[in-house]
Chains A and B, each alone.
Chain A
Amino acid sequence: DAGVIQSPRHEVTEMGQEVTLRCKPISGHNSLFWYRQTMMRGLELLIYFNNNVPIDDSGMPEDRFSAKMPNASFSTLKIQPSEPRDSAVYFCASTFGVGNTEAFFGQGTRLTVV
Chain B
Amino acid sequence: GESVGLHLPTLSVQEGDNSIINCAYSNSASDYFIWYKQESGKGPQFIIDIRSNMDKRQGQRVTVLLNKTVKHLSLQIAATQPGDSAVYFCAENILHKGKFYFGSGTKLNVKP
| Chain A residues packing against B (C-beta within 8 Å) | 4, 31, 33, 35, 39-45, 48, 50, 55-56, 59, 91, 93, 98-99, 101-108
Give the segment of B21-29, B76-84, B98-106 that binds chain A. Answer: B98-106
Q: Is the CB of B44 within 8 A of A43?
A: yes
Q: Mark B86-112, 1 if CB is under 8 A from A, else 0.
A: 000100011111111111110000000
Task: Judge whether B4 and A42 touch: CB under 8 Å.
Answer: yes
Cα A29 to Cα B21 with chains together (Å): 31
- Chain B contact residue count (CB 8 A cutoff): 30
In the complex formed, the residue of A with least CB distance to B34 is A101
CA gap between A108 and B44 in the complex, in Å: 10
| Assembled-state Cα–Cα distance A114/B13 (Å) | 38
Instruction: Note all chain B residues with C-beta closer than 8 A to A59.
Output: 2
Q: Is the CB of A31 within 8 A of B98?
A: yes
Tell me whether A42 and B43 are in contact (CB under 8 A): no
Residues of A within 8 A of B96 (CB): 98-99
How many residue pairs, one in A and one in B, have C-beta atoms under 8 Å apart?
77
A56 and chain B: residue at smallest CB distance: B99
Q: Closest residue to B51 on the A side, CB-wise?
A: A101
List, in ascending order, chain A residues with CB within 8 A of B46's CB. 101-104
Q: Is B99 a contact partner of A102 (Cβ separation < 8 A)?
A: no
- A43 CA / B89 CA spacing, docked (Å): 9
Q: Closest approach, in angstroms, between the C-beta of A96 and any C-beta of chain B?
A: 11
Q: Are B95 and A39 in contact (CB under 8 A)?
A: no
Give the contacting residue for A50; candidates B4, B45, B98, B102; CB below 8 A.
B98
Q: Does B31 sit within 8 A of A, measured CB to CB?
A: yes
* Among all A-B residue pairs, the 6 with the closest Cβ atoms: A105-B43, A42-B5, A99-B95, A42-B3, A43-B102, A98-B98
CA distance A57 to B93 in the complex (A): 17
Structural contact, B45 and A105, CB atoms closer than 8 A: yes
On chain A, the residues within 8 Å of B41 by CB distance are: 107
- Chain B residues near A103: list those with CB within 8 A: 46, 100
Q: A43-B3, A43-B89 are in contact. Are A108 and B43 (CB under 8 A)?
A: yes
